[in-house]
Amino acid sequence: MRFLLNEGAEVALTDLPEGLQEVLTTQMGSMRYVDRATLADVVAEFAAELEAMGLTFPRGVAGALSALDGRISSQTAARLRKEAGVRQFGDPWQQVCNADTPMLLKILQSESTEVAAILLSKLDVARAAELLGRLPGETARRITYAVSQTGAATPAAVDRIGLSLAAQLHEVPPTAFADGPVERVGAILNYSQAATRDEVLTGLEEEDEDFARLVRKAIFTFANIPQRVNPLDMPAITRDIDRQDLITALAAAQAAEEPLPAAGSFVLDSISKRMADALREEIEELGTVNERDGEAAMTAVVNAIRTLEASGDIKLLPPEDGGTP
């Protein structure tokens, strides 16, 4: 090892078990001098052993699961991980720090102040500041003060806390759906007819007003364009929409009740005057649009906006509380 380090090799000794790291360090500290012939013999023996090596296997269940990732069923992998313990996932604190914000907020508010202070200290400064800003004032003050008391925390104690918190993360049962109920209901209502959407939202408000409010915020329809779309993005959006769909949608919106006319005016006001005037002439020539065709065209416009958002070409503005679906 001394020879490799002298030659400038990067050796990841941290991958060794702690016991072997300790033995290696103690052995190196006890040695003083090795002659050139002995060094040559040791290096030759080491090189011969490396050349004779055919296969290496991962140590423990953690390494085996990493090697077999994607090749065994997720159910079997999950069971083995649980049986082997949290450490097989890697550094428990790395798992905790990589958890999503809602989970970390839940931990900060449910654990003792001392544990919350340790967690906050292990996070990077920007993430810790974000979480602190989302906590109630009194809770944030208690945890911040507790951070000043963590100077005497031992590495072993911090390690045990990390293991405990990481275990909580792995105890969260897997869910069948990638999106939450609000997003799923909002996506369904986005493609529903206006009458159906209004009826469903009215029913939701009678059953669960808070859930209905969240669903309204998740919905994005033609009427939401003025609140969610940056006017500077509208020229790019109109170029990406089939012209006949755009004309039909604007004609239908113009003849409908508010807030649809306002959404149509927003679209026309956000593009060049020449193009807006041309569209107004074509809308006038088109005349009356039946309700079904109008809704289909407005859905096509919304879908084009969603596609541009998904590709990163535009960014929708965050929904406002109490927005009209």
- Distances, alpha carbon 19 to alpha carbons 13, 25, 30, 71, 137, in Å: 12, 10, 17, 32, 45
Lowest mean pLDDT among 67-76, 247-256, 272-281: 67-76
Is the previous residue joined to 259 through a cis bond, with omega within 30 degrees of 0?
Answer: yes
DSSP letters, 52-68, are H------SHHHHHHHHT
Tell whether the model's pLDDT for residue 285 goes beyond 50: yes
pLDDT surpasses 50 at 325 = no
Considering only 143-147, 294-298, 321-325, which range has the smallest mean pLDDT?
Answer: 321-325
**How many Å apart are CA 307 and CA 153, to the nearest integer?**
50
Residue-level pLDDT at 230: 94
pLDDT, tens digit, 9 for 90 and up, residues 105-136: 988 988 999 999 999 999 988 888 889 888 88
Decide if pLDDT at 226 tops 90: yes
Segment among 93-102, 171-180, 226-235, 293-302 with least mean pLDDT: 171-180
Q: Are 288 and 252 in contact (CB under 8 A)?
A: no
Q: How confident is the model at residue 319 (pLDDT cuts 50, 70, 90)?
A: confident
pLDDT tens-digit profile of 137-158?
888 999 999 988 888 889 888 8
Contacts for 298-302: CB closer than 8 Å, 24+ residues apart? 298/221, 298/222, 298/249, 298/252, 298/253, 298/260, 299/191, 299/222, 300/241, 300/242, 300/245, 300/249, 301/222, 301/225, 301/241, 301/245, 301/246, 301/249, 302/190, 302/220, 302/221, 302/222
Of 83, 86, 88, 54, residue with least CA distance to 68: 88
320: confidence class by pLDDT, cuts 50, 70, 90: low
The tens digit of pLDDT for each residue in 59-94 reads 667 677 777 878 888 888 776 766 565 555 567 788
Q: Which tens digit of pLDDT belongs to each residue from 171-223?
A: 656 566 767 788 889 888 877 777 788 889 889 988 888 888 888 888 888 99
Distances from the Cα of 60 to the Cαs of 37, 70, 77, in angstroms? 38, 18, 14
Query: Across all residues in the chain, what is the average pLDDT?
Result: 85
For position 323, what pLDDT does the model report? 41
Give me the pLDDT at residue 214, please: 86
Give the residue among 167, 165, 172, 171 at the shortest CA–CA distance from 108.
165
Domains, the chain, ranges and CATH?
Answer: 2-52 (no CATH), 91-170 (1.10.220.30), 175-219 (1.20.5), 221-325 (1.10.220.30)
Q: What percent of the chain has pLDDT over 90?
A: 29
Q: Of 200, 168, 199, which Cα lies nearest the Cα of 184?
A: 200
Average of per-residue pLDDT across 275-294: 92
